[in-house]
């Protein structure tokens, strides 16, 4: 089948369903022709975000960032950071001069970079190491613009879900439970099993950020069930969804620390919140305005010692 520090305000964030109106790092729908790293259909140049790496210390919501540095200081598009489970590498998407994108692997010790796959006629996005550690799973835009999930960086490259397209993003709980952001009208949250090919739609009109909740068989995502944007969770065994906390105004990207604290950006500021504290609220932990103007993607090192943040450059004065 084809499955097409000051308290910030809580307010509705519009999660647009057409990927052409999704946030800047979303890949294009399969029908839009050649892949572009930015999906806005305007005459202006796409944003050229960079990935900032910083050391992370503290516990709970009392977190501190230090030694923040631009890890991709170059012209062009760099986005979608993801640490590998062993903590040795950072995977990310890099825009190329030909308009396509590749997934690179940054060695966090040596600073060396290398492409994960060599596909000059195709684009890759949304790279993650799957739970079995075999290769890297990416969203690949194929020569005919079909957009599917592929396992690459292995001798026997293969499509993970041959009949599910177009896929935008993914999060894995184990080898049988994968959450997918599937493009369409509306965008849907799909739970899928690679071993059987079974699928079920569990929500719709969701945001692009899918994250495994530490210590749980749950994937978190952003949705707007009423007038307020919420970070919600889906139990991958039952398919049941539930609210976690209200999202920050105008934000949809989030991440988790290993001990279960949520992180979100708003403008250049980074916030933390403990979803287990019923009296808790979003607390500012850092301001990265010296390095950029707007935080989008966030990734946390599996040991909680580093953080990768995508920042759009500040407007030229």
Residues 70-117 have pLDDT tens digits of 999 999 999 999 999 999 999 999 999 889 999 999 999 999 999 998
- Model confidence band, residue 136 (pLDDT cutoffs 50, 70, 90): very high
Q: List all residues 6 or more positions away from 226 whose beta carbon is below 8 Å from its beta carbon.
A: none
Q: What is the pLDDT of residue 314?
A: 80
Distance in angstroms (rounded) separating the CA atoms of residues 234 and 169: 15
Instruction: Please say if the pLDDT value at position 313 is more than 50.
Output: yes
Q: pLDDT of 5-40, one tens digit each? A: 334 443 333 333 333 334 335 443 333 222 333 333
Alpha-carbon torsion (189, 310, 128, 23), positive or negative: positive
The answer to whether residue 1 is domain-embedded is: no
Q: What is the pLDDT of residue 120?
A: 85
Distance in angstroms (rounded) separating the CA atoms of residues 221 and 21: 18
Higher pLDDT, 252 or 53: 53
Q: What is the CA radius of gyration of the chain?
A: 18
The answer to whether residue 11 is domain-embedded is: no
Q: pLDDT of 196-237, one tens digit each? A: 999 999 999 999 999 999 999 999 999 986 778 999 999 999
User: What's 285's domain CATH number?
Assistant: 2.120.10.30
Query: Is-cis flag, bond preceding 186, omega within 30?
Result: yes
Q: Is residue 20 classed as helix, strand or coil in its secondary structure?
A: helix
Report DSSP state, residue 109. T
Instruction: Please say if the pLDDT value at position 155 is more than 60.
Output: yes
Distance in angstroms (rounded) separating the CA atoms of residues 316 and 199: 46
The pTM assigned to this predicted structure is 0.87
Q: List all residues 6 or more positions away from 295 whose beta carbon is below 8 Å from its beta carbon.
A: 253, 265, 266, 267, 268, 269, 270, 288, 309, 310, 311
The answer to whether residue 244 is domain-embedded is: yes
The answer to whether residue 12 is domain-embedded is: no
The answer to whether residue 317 is domain-embedded is: no
Report DSSP state, residue 309. E
Q: Is residue 21 classed as helix, strand or coil in its secondary structure?
A: helix
The answer to whether residue 121 is domain-embedded is: yes
- Percentage of the residues of the chain whose pLDDT score is greater than 70: 84
The answer to whether residue 3 is domain-embedded is: no
Q: What is the mean pLDDT of residues 174-186?
A: 97
Distance in angstroms (rounded) separating the CA atoms of residues 49 and 77: 6
Provide the number of structural domains found in the chain.
Answer: 1
Q: What is the pLDDT of residue 317?
A: 62
Q: List all residues 6 or more positions away from 110 whose beta carbon is below 8 Å from its beta carbon.
A: none
Q: What is the mean pLDDT of residues 118-131?
A: 93
Distance in angstroms (rounded) separating the CA atoms of residues 70 and 74: 9
- Model confidence band, residue 149 (pLDDT cutoffs 50, 70, 90): very high
List beta partners, residue 233: 220, 242
Q: What is the mean pLDDT of residues 243-255?
A: 96
Distance in angstroms (rounded) separating the CA atoms of residues 70 and 53: 6
Whole-angstrom CA distances from 21 to 54, 149, 250, 293, 315 are 30, 21, 14, 20, 21
Torsions phi, psi for 20 (to 5 deg): -65, -20
Q: What is the pLDDT of residue 25?
A: 57
Q: Which domain holds residue 272?
A: 19-312
Residue 205, judged by CB atoms within 10 A of its CB (0-12, 13-18, 19+), counts as middle
The overall average pLDDT reported for the chain is 88
The answer to whether residue 173 is domain-embedded is: yes
Whole-angstrom CA distances from 278 to 94, 264, 273, 281 are 40, 18, 11, 9
């Amino acid at each position: 089948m084809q499955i097409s520090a000051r308290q910030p305000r809580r307010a509705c964030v519009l999660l647009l369903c057409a990927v052409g109106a999704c946030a800047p790092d979303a890949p294009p729908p399969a029908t839009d022709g050649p892949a572009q790293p930015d999906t806005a259909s305007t005459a202006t140049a796409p944003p050229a975000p960079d990935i900032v790496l910083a050391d992370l210390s503290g516990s709970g919501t009392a977190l501190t960032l230090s030694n923040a540095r631009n890890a991709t200081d170059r012209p062009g598009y760099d986005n979608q950071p993801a640490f590998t489970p062993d903590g040795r590498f950072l995977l990310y998407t890099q825009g190329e001069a030909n308009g396509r994108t590749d997934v690179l692997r940054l060695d966090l010790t040596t600073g060396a970079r290398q492409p994960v796959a060599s596909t000059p006629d195709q684009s890759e996005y949304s790279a993650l190491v799957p739970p079995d550690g075999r290769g890297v799973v990416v969203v690949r835009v194929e020569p005919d613009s079909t957009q599917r999930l592929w396992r690459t960086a292995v001798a026997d490259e293969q499509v993970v879900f041959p009949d599910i397209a177009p896929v935008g993003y993914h999060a894995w709980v184990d080898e049988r439970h994968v959450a997918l952001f599937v493009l369409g009208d509306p965008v849907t949250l799909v739970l899928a099993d690679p071993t059987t090919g079974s699928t079920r739609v569990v929500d719709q009109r969701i945001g692009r950020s899918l994250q495994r909740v530490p210590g749980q068989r749950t994937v978190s995502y952003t949705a707007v069930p009423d007038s307020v944007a919420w970070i919600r969770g889906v139990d991958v065994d039952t398919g049941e969804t539930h609210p976690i906390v209200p999202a920050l105004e105008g934000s949809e990207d989030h991440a988790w620390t290993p001990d279960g604290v949520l992180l979100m950006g708003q403008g250049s500021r980074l916030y933390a919140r403990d979803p287990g504290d019923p009296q808790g609220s979003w607390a500012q932990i850092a301001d990265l305005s010296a390095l950029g103007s707007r935080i989008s993607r966030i990734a946390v090192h599996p040991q909680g010692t580093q953080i990768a943040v995508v920042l759009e450059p500040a407007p030229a004065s």
